[in-house]
Amino acid sequence: MKVCIAEKPSVARDIAEVIGAKERKDGYYEGNGYQVTWTFGHFCTLKEPHDYTEQWKFWRLEDLPMIPSSFGIKLIDNSGVQKQFKIIEQLVQHSEEVINCGDAGQEGELIQRWVLLKAQCTAPVKRLWISSLTEQAIREGFQKLKDADQYNNLYAAGSARAIGDWLLGMNATRLFTKKFAMGKTVLSIGRVQTPTLAMIVARQKEINAFVSEEYWELKTVYREVEFTATIDRIKVLDRAEKGLAYLKEHPFEVTSFEKKEGKEGNPKLFDLTALQVEANKKYAYSADDTLKYIQNLYEKKLVTYPRVDTTYLSEDLHPKIAGIMQDLTPYAALTAPILANPIPKLKTVFDDKKVTDHHAIIPTGIYPSNLGMEEKRIYDLVARRFIAAFYPECKISNTTILGKVGQVEFKVTGKQILEPGWKEVYANDVTPKKEGEEEEKILPVFEVGESGPHTPRIHQGRTTPPKAFTEATLLRAMETAGKQVDDEEMRELLKDNGIGRPSTRANIIETLFRRKYIEKRKKNIFATQTGIDLIDTIQTELLKSPELTGIWEGKLRQIEKGEYAMETFKQELIQMVIDLTIEVKTSNYKVITVRPDQPEEKEKEKEEKPKKEAKPKEPKKAVVIAEQQCPKCKAHPLKKGNTAYGCANFNVCGFKVPFEVFGKKLTDKQIADLLAKGKTGKIKGWKLPGAAGDTEGKLILNKGFELEVEKA
């Protein structure tokens, strides 16, 4: 028997139907020489620290770094998983050949390889590699089964990614938690989540530090067209008023009239990130929800494999495009102009060099029916983008008019659509405009040298802070490792060094929400104080730099291409973890936030000592003053200076607690009590102004946030 292993029961059912394995058994289908079984996602995971040694069960600084001599896998602790695995194990051990039918991507490869490894498979293994789940695709895939060894580099990259995440996540989370956190707080550190959080925190600090300023601009209306002065924004109203008076003394003169025809290129086909960005802009869908909807459409055979990072199609798909177009019957009015001529082999669409495992997301041509609103919207985005890619370019006319009033120069620009081209596909559809995209504005014809009266005015405005991240802009920032890139081609070049992968970015964002490091207000994403404090605590740039993490991602992609050795990558990681551990253990950075509203993470292991283990008592730890919020302004953390703890925004807020006050040097515990409770316990020996001798009493923080002694 040949044993096929799919990643989901529904996919197994589709495969079984096509290859004739139609007899339902317990946990598999059988027939026509095949047995078709399934996993349901991840069945195996890397072993946890305590699986290697009892010593690693407990969170202790002295046990770090944890570096296993070799990494092992284990079954997930779930009764359903274990039951189905036994079925797979039995089938595999009696098979003549195994066909890996997992999702055709890195994660799918890893899931299946680990299952086969755990099942001790000795049979030869083939690989089904398809880009859609239609009957035709499955049938063609079985006619062209690949040798499993062709995907060894893909498996190596998946393994390296998992090991890297384990080494950094397990060690750094314990390291920072035990060194800096108090109580049951867990400081969760991740290879991708931490630099992502760092980008959000950096943007938020820019917003918080931004001080809005008034400015004035000179504008004037000539022949019902408003022009703006090209001089720098004016910062002083008096100067603007003088400028206005000057303009009133001179006529307006046209100095240049330029009209150029141009083109707006067609939008690229969707990769997963671009689809998530568009769905967030248009429907405010989260990246995670969009991934679920497009995955459902894939499993319903309506679209091709979605977890992709290319916007191109392979050249061998060109002959199939007309057939897909013809089958898109709900869009017949839009596809008719394309089908009236042979389908062009556009370089902006077809490029084998820019397609790796899979091509861009496109419809399969199967008629969509019985879809919920969310899936229907996502399908519509994919279908229209596919159709638009084959339409003519949009032809436009750009007009620039320059003028002057006396010595002050003015300018206005306008854009006119001459031939809508691909924009016809969206004629009845409200699509979000690109950042900075102009509205269509038709300007009249002006003659150079013409002059006449005009109506000047002063426009008052205020500078605005940087925009907070939305999920759309955050996904783009992750894709380009934090670089602000609007150009499509440049974005393509940066993808290899983006942080995370298209299939994992949504989960990273959801993880940050779940751990209360970020929160959403309307469509905008903000870091919580807990998230800000965590990033402020991490002094190691490697852990929070999007660019450095992007370099790491680039090496993983090189492993996937066979251009970098997995073992080399692993040794680099081990050395990095060793260096990080030494650096943090020996650091004198004081720390950190204790947030009472932060949930305890499930992954934190028990910290109590083993009952049978006698251990000497550790010396009592000094109380540290957390970088908690300033009690006065409640907007900035406290920082430790040379003589006092003070608000990070001290120049504005003015709050501080000196180390020595009224002749007494305060202990860390006394300062901590003062900040947490507003007062200390009774203390003897206060030297108060005007008081004879020493005074006993509590140091309190009064309503004016000043220090005074409450006498006993």
The amino acid present at 453, given as its one-letter code, is P
DSSP H or E run through 647 = strand 644-647
C-beta of residue 340 within 8 angstroms of C-beta of residue 173: no
- Give the whole-angstrom CA distance, residue 301 versus residue 130: 12
Q: Phi and psi (nearest 5°) for 602?
A: -65, -35
Q: Are strands 524-527 and 23-25 parallel, antiparallel or unpaired?
A: unpaired
What's the distance, Cα to Cα, between the start and end of the chain in Å? Answer: 89
Among the listed residues 287, 290, 349, 361, the one whose alpha carbon sits nearest the alpha carbon of residue 132 = 361
* Whole-angstrom distance, CA of residue 431 vs CA of residue 419: 18
Local structure of 107: helix, strand or coil? helix
In 3D space, the residue among 693, 661, 652, 694 whose CA is nearest the CA of residue 680 turns out to be 661
- Pair type for strands 146-147 and 451-452: unpaired
For 612, the token pair is: 């049978």
Q: Does the annotation count 155 as an active-site position?
A: no
Supply the DSSP string of 37-53, one letter for each residue: EE--S--EEEPPHHHH-
Taking a C-beta distance cutoff of 8 angstroms, is the pair 31, 21 a contact? yes
For residue 29, the Cα-to-chain-centroid distance in whole angstroms is: 39
Per-residue CA distances from 639 to 330, 560, 655 (Å): 62, 45, 11
Catalytic residue among 298, 305, 379, 517: 305
Helix H or strand E encompassing 682: strand 679-686
Token duo for residue 671: 């300062």
In 67-124, the DSSP E strands lie at 73-75, 97-101
Pairwise CA distance, residues 324 & 304, whole Å: 12
What sign does the CA torsion over 304, 305, 308, 312 have? Answer: negative
CB 60 within 8 A of CB 68: no
Q: Which residues contact 40 (CB under 8 A, 6 or more apart)?
A: 7, 8, 9, 80, 81, 84
- Give CA 401 to chain center in angstroms: 42
CB under 8 A, 24+ apart: contacts of 619-624: 622/668, 623/667, 623/668, 623/669, 623/672, 624/182, 624/590, 624/591, 624/592, 624/668
- The amino acid sitting at 64 is L
Q: Which residues contact 423 (CB under 8 A, 6 or more apart)?
A: 264, 394, 417
Point out which residues pair with 526 in neighbouring strands. Answer: 519
Q: Which residues are catalytic?
A: 305
